[in-house]
């Protein structure tokens, strides 16, 4: 009888279409503090107190100081073997979509191109006046808060608490989950919605759900395979 890792490896090998949903756990292996963990604390502020439109309207410099700290930290991080395994999976020629809750850009740096970013991108700025967006990977930024060419104040192009996810990205992610033969659920707590809703969407579409996590999550109950361990240890063995 096949053990779960062998079964998962076979499903990945035989599937023509695969989707992956990744969360903070895969980036934590690269040294990026998890959003909800103790490593995410900064000056005794909780992320929930800073990542809001209200906090930015009240004190944009404070919010940007926090994002400056995060950009400096993440800028030093490197994609790990889990990120690289997902990039190899995309390069294998299968129909592959990577949906991520992470804003750190490590998937793209590892070589993934078809990435749906549910929560935005830390390395892009958005003008609060004209709505323009642009990439900016400078670390540190020269001036806080940064400004748009139109003169408006720029914010990080990420989704804050109380803001909706971009509908186009969410719709494309749901389509990929529904059409996938296999859904890899990697390093996500599976408690943040609507991202976590992609798991039952994939299940209803007939996908095999393979969960890769160091601990039990709400997704464990619906997963067809539950592989306990770090993404950087488990994923390379599934991509052959």
For the chain of 240 residues, list the mean pLDDT of each consecutive stretch of 10. Answer: 85 97 96 62 71 95 93 95 98 96 97 97 98 96 96 97 94 97 96 92 97 95 96 94
State phi, psi for 122 to the nearest 5 degrees. Answer: -60, -25
pLDDT at residue 11, rounded to an integer: 97
- Please name the helix (run of DSSP H) or strand (run of DSSP E) that holds residue 157, with its range, or none: strand 154-158
With contact defined as beta carbons under 8 Å apart, do 112 and 90 qualify?
yes
Rounded-to-integer distance, Cα 200 and Cα 219, Å: 9
In DSSP notation, 18-49 reads: EEEEE-HHHHHTTTPPPTTSGGG-BTTB-HHH
- Told to judge if 147 belongs to the known catalytic residues of this protein, a careful annotator would answer no
Domains of the chain by start residue, with CATH: 4-238 (3.40.50.1220)
pLDDT at residue 54, rounded to an integer: 96
Q: Which DSSP letter does residue 122 get?
A: E
Rounded-to-integer distance, Cα 148 and Cα 235, Å: 41
Q: For residues 101, 162, 120 and 64, what is the CA-based torsion angle, rounded to 10 degrees?
A: -120
Which of the residues 107, 113, 119, 147 is marked catalytic?
A: 119
Beta-bridge mates of residue 208: 182
Rounded-to-integer distance, Cα 165 and Cα 151, Å: 26
pLDDT at residue 28, rounded to an integer: 94
Beta-bridge mates of residue 17: 95
Q: Is the pTM of this model over 0.85?
A: yes
pLDDT at residue 34, rounded to an integer: 65
Count Cβ neighbours within 10 Å for each residue of 109-145 and write b for 16 or more, e otherwise: ebebeebbbbbbbbbbbbbbeeeeeeeeeeeebeeeb
In DSSP notation, 177-225 reads: HHH-SEEEEES--S-STTGGGHHHHHHHTTPEEEEEESS--GGGGT-SE
Bridge-based pairing of strands 115-117 and 95-100 is parallel
Per-state percent for the chain, helix, strand, coil, to nearest 5: 40, 20, 40
Rounded-to-integer distance, Cα 157 and Cα 212, Å: 28
């Amino acid at each position: 009888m096949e053990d779960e890792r062998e079964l998962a490896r076979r499903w990945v090998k035989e599937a023509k279409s695969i989707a992956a949903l990744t969360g903070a756990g895969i980036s934590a292996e690269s040294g990026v503090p998890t959003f909800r963990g103790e490593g995410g604390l900064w000056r005794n502020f909780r992320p929930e107190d800073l990542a809001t439109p209200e906090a930015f309207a009240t004190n944009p410099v404070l919010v940007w100081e926090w994002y400056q700290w995060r950009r400096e930290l993440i800028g030093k991080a490197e994609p790990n073997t889990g990120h690289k395994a997902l990039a190899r999976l995309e390069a294998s020629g299968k129909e592959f979509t990577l949906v991520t809750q992470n804003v750190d850009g490590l998937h793209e740096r590892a070589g993934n191109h078809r990435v749906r970013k549910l929560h935005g991108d830390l390395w892009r700025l958005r003008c609060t006046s004209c709505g323009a967006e642009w990439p900016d990977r400078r670390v540190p930024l020269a001036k806080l808060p940064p400004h748009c060419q139109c003169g408006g104040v720029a914010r990080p192009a990420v989704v804050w608490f109380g803001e909706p996810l971009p509908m186009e990205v969410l719709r494309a992610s749901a389509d990929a989950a529904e059409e996938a033969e296999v859904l890899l659920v990697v390093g996500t707590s599976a408690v943040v919605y609507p991202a976590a809703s992609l798991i039952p969407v994939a299940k209803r579409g007939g996908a095999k759900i393979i969960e890769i996590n160091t601990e039990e999550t709400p997704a464990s109950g619906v997963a067809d395979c539950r592989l306990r361990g770090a993404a950087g240890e488990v994923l390379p063995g599934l991509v052959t």
